[in-house]
Chains A and B, each alone.
Chain A
Amino acid sequence: MSWTRRLLVVLAALAVALLAAPAAQAHEERPVTLPDGTGSVPVYRTGEPDLLVCKSDRADFERRISGFPDGLRARNLRLFDRCLRSGYRHLQQAVDAVGRPGMNIAILPGLYEEEPSLPKPAGECTRLKAPNSQLGYQILSYAQQTQCPHNQNLVAILGKKNLQIEGTGAERTDVVIDAKYQKLNAIRADGSHGIYFKNFTAQRTTFNSLYVLAQDGFVIDSVLTRWNDEYGFLTFASDHGLYKNCESYGNGDSGIYPGSASDINDGYGYEVPRYSIEITGCRSHHNMVGYSGTAGDSVYVHDNEFDHNMGGASMDSAFPGHPGLPQNHARFERNLIHDNNADYYPYVADGTCAKPPADRGYEDGVVCPQISMPPGSGIITAGGNWNLYENNWIYGQQRAAFFLTAVPAFIRGESALSKQTDTSHHNRYAGNHLGTDKAGNSRPNRTDVFWDGQGEGNCWQSDTGPSSPRTLPTCGSERGAVSGRTDRLVGEPVKLAQLLVCADYNVQARRLPAGCDWYGARGIERIEVQVTLAIAVVLALVGGVLWWRRLRGSGLATAVTVLGAIGLGLDVAGSTTGPASTYVPALALLLTGVWWTGIGLVLRGDRPWLGWTTVVLGALTLLDALDKAVFMIPWIPLSPAWLRGLLGVIWVVWAVVAAARHTERGVPGEQGASQEGPAPDAGVHAPGAPATALAPAPEGDAS
């Protein structure tokens, strides 16, 4: 597709998007509010369990525990005998038998398929009056969930306070709760404040393995979740939460998702009284992203490993209806975030992800990425404030260690003008080990930072390697200390154009935007290269004609035109993947700026308006180079690139007109040159050149 056609498509998409606000729904949940925060993080209770769950096959059980340490085996045998007498065969039966707060359920080693919960709904449960989501299932109220707990959940824990559910195996894989892709959720905890999950595996759902909704107080301890269409762990609109020593992999969205964690620190700076959810000692790998949180507010994420995903971690403010938007106050410390370079988009392209979930082959490593995102990124922040990213190890990322962009508020359904630029501000990236693993080996990231340039108070450590833009605000030693005072309302135009093209992704339509390198576009296929090349060709043509018709008499103009040509060439080179995060783009701007300034000065004698406009264009371009390579210019609301782009369009038209016209004003070369006071060389040279080169012009004029 040609770039013009692509541009038209993009503009059309923009127009459609702006004019028709579709009533489409996403995956919905019933309206929930954040808990009041009066709860607490539950504490693990030792001691004999109140209720037991086991399978009845003794031979199978003894095989499963045969390798356990003696003490644990003896305990399990004891519990098994008791369970055969007075226990349950399915976890749901035990949950249903919970009669008071604070009970403990022990699940003995075994495979739990929860057969009684599996059948499709029947009777009244098929006739619930509830809105349909776009996916075809219903958005049930809490009362309806209670009435029909297995319409969507394999195990439903509804209204059980301070319940503890623990596997008694040696490993978390000794107790497996398998939804076999027959339910949206394997385990749903709803209205059950203070729940404690420990030491089991939940797997194979068409949404989430472990779902915690609107709860004040929960712990996920040594639990493994895997092979889900969306999330391993989804804890939504909750407070007083703790994830520890968990693991998740093979999820189409993220392994760990603390979305809409309680927004308790809104209004604070970096120092906060407490965090709503703590995540530590977890490993999340081979997912689309390891960690993700729309409105992941006040989450303290430390000492985890997020690796071999498409992206390590992500937080954003890009979705409506999440309590606590915009996202704020996540704190990432001492995490290992590395080698998140998986590319699962080919599974979308080849039709694997169009099959039913059960047939996709998740167990063999297939992941179906649900949305568009830049593979190879360490930490992505798409609209977020007051986030702290400190003392992490981020290495081996083939795109960028840190990816930061703004998201205007109307995206999340808030149209108040004052909110449109309320992200991304005050994000601090400091003291991280970039491009180095924990042993000190060099494992560089292709770039350390990709930033759209928007927002105030964002800062990065001074030792970042390649970055785009090449110069960044630097963090001082204190939190809050930032070099410069940059505060832009909108990001860089070329980056927005790129993101725009890349966002045109659709799993169901198997549409992978061709111009976007997230999906494998390389070299000239990339939209950035195409746009830059097109602009360079237009400018080279216009500049060339202008020089030939009006300026070749001037030595200065000729010299700067040559520089301009080099600059345009470098601009194209600088738009390719490698040099984009070096000084090449800034050098290209410098040379192009010199060109415009130079020819502007030459032109102004003959055509003062065009001349001065060209000088301004040159000055803006030089300013842009300064802004990108030396320091970001403070105070201005838009980057010089925006003004330069707008003025550039006007200039191109103007210059074409000026070059195309028959000369009506005498001998421009002479006049222009004669005013070149500070360039005696040009002064000497110029009168000779036009006399020959432009000789026909005065004649034609005279005739």
Chain B
Amino acid sequence: MKNLRRRRWLARPGGAAVTVLAAGALVFGASACGGRATTHHKPGTSHEQAVGSVGRLLAADDGSGHRLRQVDAKGAPQVTVAVRRDSEDGWNVRLSVRNFRFTPDSVGGAALLGRGHARLFLDGHPLARVYGSWYHLPDSLVRSSGGGTGLTARLYADDHTAWAVNSTPIQATTSLTTASAQPTAPAPHRPETPRPDTALEIVVSHGKVSPAPGRTEIKKGRIIELRVRSDQADTLHVHGYDKEARLPAGKTVTLTFTADRTGLFEVETHESDLLLTQLVVR
């Protein structure tokens, strides 16, 4: 499109009429040199052509048949990988990259510096090609890939060569076991929450508390987890420790704290004023 621009055009007003038209003309100003065919409008962006080759293709490959493409360490792509246990299934993998862009649309094209995709490997076993910074790794894939624990993320160019510095592929590795001791166990708790020493499960239904209120003895310094479900919206309160939690109707609410003071402490609901249990901390 060559329209809608100004600042360069031939203005030879032949009379008043043309001068009047000039206002309209400004809108579509263009270069004027007559005669010569100009296939384009005035220069817009710079059209600076890239130069040089992108790294050096090495004879060595990455171990899976993709040759290494060596670049200088300065300005080279970088990657780090972190994993977090998913609350339902498997792992959430996050790749953090520098000097690198994920370019899924141009995969299969030529290698251009600082772009491409990543591949994930589990103890050397290929898992998946990754086109963005987040990837969900299901347990089923971990199992079918041999159940290893060493997760490696390696960066590749659009032409599937592996980016490398000093003949070493650009990659990062983490362990699937570091974030939690039991990766295969169902994980109802967030991994960073410490395991409770005492867990109490209490249900409030139609104004009745079950199990019936009693005393629970706890050693000082231990972690207590209260799991309370009420059929009516209420507020849970632990006296002495002054711990409170909202109890939405029908939802199990977990309150975890460390019993760091000795004494007898009542646990009750505020709205319905029910005693749920007594904690004896020694």
Binding site for B on A (CB under 8 A): 13-14, 17-19, 21-32, 59, 111, 113, 120, 134-135, 139, 173, 176, 178, 180-184, 203-204, 206-207, 227, 229-230, 234, 236-237, 252-254, 259-260, 288-289, 292-294, 311, 314, 316, 318-323, 353-354, 356-358, 361, 363-364, 368-374, 380, 382-383, 405-408, 410-413, 415-417, 420-421, 452, 454, 489-491, 493, 496-497, 499-500, 502-508
Q: If the complex has contacts A289-B1, A496-B24, A504-B6, are A26 and B31 also in contact, measured as CB distance less than 8 A?
A: yes
Find chain A residues with CB under 8 A from B48 CB: 206, 356-357
Cβ–Cβ contact B45 & A420, under 8 A: no
Q: Is the CB of A370 within 8 A of B37?
A: no
Q: Is the CB of B11 closer than 8 A to any CB of chain A?
A: yes
Q: Which residue of B lies closest to A10 (CB)?
A: B26
Contact A184–B49 (Cβ < 8 Å): yes
**Are the CB atoms of B10 and A21 closer together than 8 Å?**
yes
**A contact residues around B4 at 8 Å (CB):** 316, 318, 371-374, 382, 499, 502-503
B28 proximity list for chain A (CB < 8 A): 316, 318, 382-383, 405, 407, 411, 503
Query: Which residues of the other chain, B, contact A292 by a CB distance below 8 angstroms?
Result: 1-2
Q: 6 closest Cβ contacts across the A-B interface? A: A370-B44, A27-B40, A292-B1, A382-B3, A316-B3, A319-B2
Q: Is there contact, CB below 8 Å, between B1 and A314?
A: yes
* A182 partner residues in chain B, CB cutoff 8 A: 49-51
Q: With A316-B2, A413-B32 known to touch, is A406 a contact of B38 (CB < 8 Å)?
A: no
Contact of A252 among B25, B39, B45, B103 (CB under 8 A): B45
Tell me which residues from 1 to 56 in chain B have a Cβ below 8 Å from any Cβ of chain A.
Answer: 1-15, 17-51, 54
Interface centre among B9, B13, B33, B112 (most CB of A within 10 A): B9
Contact A180 B112 (CB under 8 A): yes
Is A180 in contact with B110, judged by CB distance below 8 angstroms?
A: yes
Residue of B nearest to A180 (CB): B110
Q: How far apart are B162's CB and chain A's nearest CB, in angstroms?
A: 15
B30/A26 in contact, CB under 8 A: yes
Query: Across the interface, do A322 and B37 meet the contact criterion of CB distance under 8 Å?
Result: yes
In the complex the two chains form, what is the Cα distance from A353 to B44 in whole Å? 10
Q: Is B84 an interface residue (CB 8 A)?
A: no
Quick one: given A319-B30, A507-B45, are A21 and B39 in contact (CB under 8 Å)?
no
Within the complex, what minimum Cβ distance (angstroms) separates A423 from chain B?
10
A405 touches B39 (CB 8 A): no
Residues of B within 8 A of A354 (CB): 45-46
Q: Is B182 an interface residue (CB 8 A)?
A: no
Of the candidates A319, A499, A508, which one forms a contact with B45 in the assembled complex, judged by CB atoms under 8 Å apart? A508
Question: Which residues of chain B (110-131) have a CB below 8 Å from chain A?
Answer: 110, 112, 115
Contact of A417 among B17, B29, B47 (CB under 8 A): B17
A407, B33: Cα distance in complex, Å: 17
Contact of B5 among A22, A23, A139, A503 (CB under 8 A): A503
Whether B26 lies near A206 (C-beta < 8 A) is no
Q: Which residues of B contact A503 (CB under 8 A)?
A: 4-6, 26-29
A27 x B17 contact (CB < 8 A): no
Contact A17 B9 (CB under 8 A): yes
A18-B13, A411-B9, A415-B14 known; A319-B47 Cβ under 8 A: no
A36 to B106, CA, bound (A): 40
- A111-B108 CB under 8 A given contacts A411-B9, A417-B17, A420-B17: yes
Q: What are 29 residue pairs bridging A and B, where the CB atoms are less than 8 Å apart in the complex?
A: A18-B11, A18-B13, A19-B11, A25-B38, A26-B42, A28-B38, A203-B106, A207-B47, A230-B47, A234-B39, A237-B37, A253-B40, A294-B1, A294-B2, A318-B4, A320-B31, A320-B34, A353-B45, A357-B47, A357-B48, A364-B105, A368-B44, A373-B3, A380-B1, A382-B28, A500-B27, A503-B6, A504-B6, A507-B45
Distance in Å: Cβ of A251 to nearest Cβ of chain B: 11
Contacts of A17 in B (CB 8 A): 6-7, 9, 11, 22, 26, 29
- Determine if B43 and A29 form an interchain contact, defined as CB atoms under 8 angstroms apart: no
B108 to chain A, nearest CB (A): 6
Residues in A with CB closer than 8 Å to B37 are 28-32, 236-237, 260, 321-323
A311 shortest CB reach to chain B, Å: 8
Return chain B residues, CB-CB under 8 Å to A120: 51
B144 to nearest A CB, angstroms? 21
Residues of A within 8 A of B44 (CB): 229-230, 252-253, 368-371, 507-508
Residues 181-200 (chain B) with a chain A CB within 8 angstroms: none
Residues on A with beta carbons closer than 8 Å to the beta carbon of B49: 181-184, 206, 357
Complex: how many Å from CA A508 to CA B17? 33
Known: A30-B37, A358-B112, A413-B33. A499 touches B42 (CB 8 A): no
Q: Are A24 and B31 in contact (CB under 8 A)?
A: yes
Closest approach, in angstroms, between the C-beta of B45 and any C-beta of chain A? 5
Residues of chain B with a CB closer than 8 A to A13's CB: 6-7, 26
Q: A236-B37, A321-B36, A363-B103 are in contact. List 9 more A-B contacts (CB 8 A).
A: A27-B40, A27-B41, A30-B37, A173-B108, A184-B49, A259-B39, A293-B1, A321-B34, A502-B4
**Cβ A22 vs Cβ B8 within 8 A:** yes
Q: Is the CB of B109 within 8 A of A364?
A: no
A-side contacts of B115, CB under 8 Å: 363
CA distance A170 to B20 in the complex (A): 58
Asked if A411 and B39 make an inter-chain contact with CB atoms under 8 angstroms apart, the answer reads no
- B159 beta carbon closer than 8 Å to chain A: yes
Given contacts A135-B47, A182-B50, contact A408 B24 (CB under 8 A): yes
Q: Is B65 an interface residue (CB 8 A)?
A: yes
Complex Cα distance, B148 from A339, in Å, reads 48
Complex Cα gap A206–B49 (Å)? 6
- Which residue, B11, B30, B40, B51, has most C-beta atoms of chain A within 10 A? B40
- Decide if B227 is an interface residue (CB 8 Å cutoff): no
Contact of B47 with A111 in the complex, beta carbons under 8 Å = no
A496-B27 contact in complex given A21-B32, A24-B8, A368-B45, C-beta closer than 8 Å: yes
For the complex, is B94 an interface residue (Cβ under 8 Å from A)? no
* CB contact under 8 A between A412 and B27, given known A18-B19, A361-B101: no
Residue with the greatest number of chain B CB neighbours at <10 A, chosen from A234, A253, A293, A363: A363
Q: Are A134 and B18 in contact (CB under 8 A)?
A: no
Q: How near does chain B come to A375, taking the closest CB pair, in angstroms?
A: 11
From residue A284, how far is it (CB to closest CB) to chain B in Å? 12
Measured between C-beta atoms, what is the minimum distance from A469 to chain B in Å?
16
Least CB distance from B104 to A in Å reads 9
Which residue of the partner chain A has the closest CB to B14?
Answer: A417
Q: Are A229's CB and B33's CB within 8 A?
A: no
Given contacts A135-B47, A363-B105, A319 and B14 within 8 Å (CB-CB) = no
Q: Chain A residue with minimal CB distance to B31?
A: A26
Q: How far is the CB of A290 from chain B (nearest CB, A)?
A: 10
Residues of chain A with a CB closer than 8 A to B43's CB: 26-27, 134-135, 508
Q: Which residues of B contact A21 (CB under 8 A)?
A: 9-12, 32
Please give me the residue from chain B that is nearest to A374 by CB atom: B4
- On whether A356 and B10 interact (CB within 8 A), knowing A178-B110, A502-B4, the answer reads no
**Distance to closest chain A CB from B277 (angstroms):** 58
Neighbouring A residues of B39 by C-beta, 8 Å: 27-29, 234, 236, 259-260, 322
> Nearest Cβ distance between residue A306 and chain B, in whole angstroms?
12
Select from chain B the residue with minimum beta-carbon distance to A498: B27
Determine how close the nearest CB of chain B comes to the CB of A407; give it in whole angstroms. 5
**What chain A residues lie within 8 Å of B112 (beta carbons)?**
180-181, 204, 358
* A-side contacts of B47, CB under 8 Å: 135, 184, 206-207, 229-230, 357
Chain A minimum-CB-distance residue to B109: A178
CB neighbours (8 Å) of B7 from chain A are 13, 17, 22, 504, 506
B65 / chain A contacts, CB cutoff of 8 Å? 59
Closest residue of B by beta carbon distance from A454: B24
CA gap between A357 and B112 in the complex, in Å? 12
Which of B20, B29, B45, B101 is the one whose CB lies under 8 Å from A411? B29
Within the complex, which residue of A59, A364, A416 is in contact with B103, where a contact is CB–CB below 8 Å? A364
- Min CB distance, B232 to chain A, in Å? 47
- Report which of A322, A405, A413 forms a contact with B27, defined as CB distance below 8 A: A405
CB distance from B63 to the nearest CB of A (A): 15
